[in-house]
Chains A and B, each alone.
Chain A
Amino acid sequence: MNYKIKYKLTADQADKLIEKYYEGFTSVEEERQLKAFLAQADLPERFKAEQAIFGYFETKQSKPSFSIRPYLRWAGVAVIIFVIGLGAQIFKQQNLSDYAYVNGVKITDKQTVRCVAEKTMKEISKDTDGKSQKLDAKEMMRQQLSTFSE
């Protein structure tokens, strides 16, 4: 199919198509172009009759269509909704996986979270008395931090 056809007709092209239309030679596709052309405002006076006639046909259109085109549109809508849903899901998951609140601020960077966590652990181990507890704290720290190195 000619790609030029997709663009709006000029008045001269429309004149030619209208002539063809009255001889019964236009295809459905060409008539759609004419319809699009005639739907414009401020057309020359000579198009008045065709504007009325095509406008009338437009309101009566109701082909029981076997065409896949209308379904294609809905399929498109479905795909868009699916992609948005999927995107939202992934976004949500990413946000949930690694983050910590430091002084009320949410941090999602793994390195930062690790540093802060280590610091906190050290502080805890400083506070506790006795060697055994110190070891326990170290062990605990290792266990906790192993989550981040996975």
Chain B
Amino acid sequence: MSQERFKAEILPLRQKLFHIAQHILVEEDEAEDAVQEVLLKLWHTRDSLNKYDSAAAYATTVTKNHCLDRLKVKSRTDLLDDSYNTRAGTDNPHLQLERKNTEDILKQIIEKLPPLQQAIIRMKDMEEYEVDEIAEITGTTVEAVRVNLSRARKKVREDYLKWTNV
């Protein structure tokens, strides 16, 4: 599916996908993040979207599954909360040893970012999309993308310094 077709066929579904997401996740912020993630996911697989009879039906399914996964992950992390985080903290010598390699450290830091921030930092810093392109794909404002990008980048730096200056 071309860039133009993606914009013409998938982006107009945004509102509908948002309603589905909100129905499952309840909270508006989370639904918004989920929709952006789904759109980015669809964007990255746009070449194979032609395979489906109805791209709209496919997008709906992807959104549902994505939100259900999010819900699952959320309930799991809520249970683990503090005890998990302290174990995975910087003061664990085994982990320090395992993660001393710069690439591993950064990979893990990025994987720990919220999914949307992860997706945005990947697109901007690795795939070299401009902020306004990302905003267009996710159907959000440039400002929203920029804020998420800024948060993600600051967090990566902060965590990286934490890891290396233990």
Binding site for B on A (CB under 8 A): 21-25, 27-28, 31, 49-50, 52-53, 55-57, 59-64, 66
**What are 24 A-B contacts with C-beta separation under 8 Å?**
A21-B153, A22-B150, A22-B157, A23-B150, A24-B146, A24-B147, A24-B149, A24-B150, A24-B153, A28-B124, A28-B128, A28-B129, A28-B130, A31-B128, A49-B164, A52-B164, A53-B157, A55-B102, A56-B103, A61-B126, A61-B127, A63-B126, A63-B129, A64-B127
Top 7 closest pairs, chain A to chain B, by CB: A24-B150, A24-B146, A24-B149, A63-B127, A56-B106, A60-B126, A57-B125
From B106, B128, B153, B160, contact of A63 by CB (8 A): B128
B73, CB-defined interface residue at 8 Å:
no
Contact B161 A49 (CB under 8 A): yes
Considering the chains assembled together, what is the distance between the CA atoms of A53 and B155 in angstroms? 12
The A interface is mostly helix, strand or loop, or mixed, namely helix
* B153 CB contacts on chain A under 8 angstroms: 21-22, 24
List B residues at the A interface (Cβ < 8 Å).
3, 102-103, 106-107, 122, 124-131, 145-150, 153-154, 156-157, 160-161, 164
Closest to B154 in A: A22
How many residue pairs at the A-B interface have CB separations less than 8 Å? 57
Contact across chains for A24 and B131 when beta carbons are under 8 A apart: yes
Q: Which of A21, A24, A49 contacts B160 (CB 8 A)?
A: A49
CA distance A60 to B122 in the complex (A): 9
Given A24-B146, A24-B147, A24-B153: A53 touches B126 (CB 8 Å cut-off): no
